[in-house]
Amino acid sequence: EENLKDVYNELKNGYKFAFAFDGDADRIAFLDQKYNYKGDILAYFLAKNMSNPCVISEVKATQVMYDEINKFGRAIMYKTGHSNLKTLLKKENCDLAAEVSGHIFFNDRYFGIDDAIYVAFRIMELIKEGFEFDKEFEKLPKVYNTDELKIKTTEEKKFAIIENLKNYLNENKEKLEIVDIVDVDGVRVIFKDGWGLVRASNTTPVLVTRFEAKSEGLLKNIQAKLTEILNKFL
């Protein structure tokens, strides 16, 4: 957010839309006067304008994106990491892949790479066609989520912690009222009204957590419950 201060100032001056890129222009931020749309929501917008799309995203992405895309296409949850998404995109011959961070890969009318300049043109195409981003976003089910929360550990311990956590959750699934456990990358624990994720970072000695729920109260409950269990293995 701190890197977007100048962008927000320009939007206050009357511009309707704004784009920002990281240093090598493989990640995009797209904003209008109301919202900063993350990569998973952008994937939903872009998929909405394709016929029967196949879309790949990561374990950190909002459940709303998966549920909504599955109504008119196919959404696949996969490992975090742009190299992982790029590989599966080619293997599955899907149309699009996206990370929350703004890595977006078009295989549809493009080369399956995370070129943020090209993504900007595809968003401009939607603007030209009159796509109302804020109204489409507000139609989606309302959820509350955290940013990525990082817990320091060591390279030696991080994967063992995830394995121990996964085993414990599977053994106590019924008692903890867990609906499902997705273990494609760490553990994404799905409850009736939300989910929590714990995964080992690919690049640093940390565990990454993220939580989402249908209300702020449920979000706090899920975060507290999963954090308490995780603490048993740190």
Model confidence over 98-131: pLDDT tens digits? 999 999 999 999 999 999 999 999 999 999 999 9
Model confidence over 49-90: pLDDT tens digits? 999 999 999 999 999 999 999 999 999 999 999 899 999 999
Using pLDDT thresholds of 50, 70 and 90, give the confidence band for residue 1. Answer: confident
CA 160, 164, 165, 167 torsion: positive or negative? positive
Model confidence over 14-31: pLDDT tens digits? 999 999 999 999 999 999
Model confidence over 166-201: pLDDT tens digits? 999 999 999 999 999 999 999 999 999 999 999 999
Parallel, antiparallel or unpaired: strands 54-58 and 74-78 = parallel
Counting runs of H as helices and runs of E as strands, what totals does the chain give? Answer: 8, 13
Q: At what angle do helices 155-171 and 216-231 cross, to 10 degrees?
A: 110
225 near 176, Cβ under 8 Å?
Answer: yes
What is the pLDDT at residue 78? Answer: 97
Query: Could you give the strand order of the β-sheet that contains 54-58, starting from the edge strand earlier in sequence?
Result: 74-78, 54-58, 96-98, 104-106
Question: In this structure, what are the phi and psi dihedrals at residue 37, rounded to the nearest 5 degrees?
Answer: -90, 120
> What is the reported pTM?
0.92
Q: What is the mean pLDDT of residues 207-233?
A: 96
Q: With 90 as the cut, is the pLDDT of residue 202 above it?
A: no
Rounded to an integer, what distance in angstroms lies between the CA atom of residue 166 and that of residue 148?
19
